[in-house]
Amino acid sequence: MLRIYSNKIVLRDSMDKGYIDIEGNRITDVVLGEKPEGDYIDMSGKYVLPGLINIHSLDFVKEISSKYIKFFTEEKAFYQVEKLLAESGITTVFHTFTLDKFSEDRDLEEVIEKLTYVKSYRKRKFLIDHKVHLKFKLGDVNLNKRLKALFDAECVDFVTCTGYNSDIIEEYQEQYYSQYLQDRFEIDEELAGRISERLKELREESALDELSYKIKFAKSRKIPFAVSKCELVEKLRETYKIGIDLLVDPRNPKSMEYISCNNLSASIDVECLVAENSSIDFVDEMAEDNINILSASKRSRDILEYVFNLEGNIGLPKAVRLASYNPAMALGMYEKGEIAPGKEADIIVVDIFEDLPINIMTISDGKIIVKYNYN
């Protein structure tokens, strides 16, 4: 059995002193207000948190796209990424692949092989829990077939639709097509514009029908589904009576208002917190629970620092929930995300050094995989 004591255990809604018992890969007990007897790891003065969950990481994709990868095997690159994540306090990571880009130079069998490799890594070697997050756009028939094949291959854990395919190209085509209608049929600009607009609406209706099918198929496989545009959520509810509970990276006030009125979960990338040109105060939205998930696409290691930066604005328990309990609940990982009896033993210990949070221990699936500077 593994037993850890701290006077700063961060629970779902509070912070308290006490100790945590771990047997196998589960937390078996959390005893508050007491010091344990016998052998235990004393983490007095240090914060004990649930392991962090990043639902949108490009760390591995960037690594295998690097020109330096040719000097190493892909497995070596993957291990390097995993080690950095574990040291940063990440115990569950969703590696994000954009389906059209990832499929460009790979046939379907290779795509399935690559995603299965990522998803099953923890079963072969042990550090943290790896999952696959797939992003796609509507409107590409070839990608439709591939997405269904990936669902069938059970190599996807989470899916996000990011809108319609090639919006900029379609805008250009519509302008060109409108001019063609005027010249070919000798109609005025207004009528040609109305025809073009109706064709666009028909394409969007067709794409929406396609999306509803994908969502139903994903739900039948118990794969969480998210979108990045509130307009899609609205249309799906009105036309197909399908609910979407998670909005990824909302970037405008209209989206924030829709989230607030419809009680959705919403994630935001840490880069948005420092964006100077944003029309949204994301910290205020976090305080109001409109933004309740924090992710990091480019630098997973930044999540821990931003969680502690938010402590003064929203309190540490709430800030920790942004990267642990909330993403776990949103994606159906009900055994993860908090320090409580029966939960998976994914725990990190954080010390503060010159005002910076430093992860000094990571426990993943009940095993200590990172440990620095403790007795």
- Listed in order, strand segments (DSSP E) in the chain are 2-10, 15-23, 26-32, 41-42, 47-50, 52-57, 90-98, 129-138, 158-164, 225-227, 246-248, 265-269, 293-295, 347-353, 356-364, 367-371
Residue 196, H or E segment: helix 189-220
Contacts of 204 (CB under 8 A, 6+ apart): 164
Q: Which pLDDT value is given to residue 42?
A: 95
373 Rama class: left (phi>0) / alpha (psi -120 to 50) / beta: left
Q: Say yes or no: 39 and 87 in one domain.
A: no
CATH, residue 348 = 2.30.40.10
Q: Which pLDDT value is given to residue 374?
A: 52
295 with 306: CB under 8 angstroms? no
Q: Say yes or no: 218 and 323 in one domain.
A: yes
Q: Which pLDDT value is given to residue 191?
A: 83
SS (H, E, C) 65-100: HCHHHHHCCHHHHHHHHHHHHHHCCEEEEEEEEEHH
Q: Which pLDDT value is given to residue 122?
A: 55
Q: Say yes or no: 274 and 370 in one domain.
A: no
The pTM (predicted TM-score) of the whole model is 0.89
CATH, residue 121 = 3.20.20.140
Q: Say yes or no: 161 and 124 in one domain.
A: yes
Strand-strand pairing, 52-57 and 47-50: unpaired
52 phi/psi in degrees, rounded to 5: -80, 150
Q: pLDDT tens digits, the chain, 375 residues: what are they?
A: 899 999 999 999 999 999 999 999 999 999 999 999 999 999 999 999 999 999 999 988 887 776 666 666 777 778 888 999 999 999 999 999 998 888 878 888 988 988 988 887 655 566 899 999 999 888 776 777 888 899 999 999 999 998 876 554 455 555 666 777 777 778 888 887 787 777 666 666 667 777 888 888 888 889 999 999 888 888 888 888 888 899 999 888 888 999 989 889 999 999 888 777 777 889 999 999 999 999 999 888 899 999 999 999 999 999 999 999 999 999 999 999 999 999 999 999 999 998 899 999 999 999 999 998 654
Q: Say yes or no: 1 and 76 in one domain.
A: no
Q: Say yes or no: 194 and 241 in one domain.
A: yes
Q: Say yes or no: 44 and 139 in one domain.
A: no
Q: Say yes or no: 225 and 364 in one domain.
A: no
Q: Say yes or no: 67 and 208 in one domain.
A: yes
Q: Say yes or no: 89 and 133 in one domain.
A: yes
CB-facing half-sphere around the CA of 314: CA atoms within 13 A = 23
- Could you say which DSSP state residue 36 is in? P
The count of domains in the chain is 2
Q: Which domain holds residue 309?
A: 52-336
- Could you say which DSSP state residue 166 is in? T
Q: Say yes or no: 37 and 96 in one domain.
A: no
Q: Which pLDDT value is given to residue 289?
A: 92
Q: Say yes or no: 112 and 203 in one domain.
A: yes
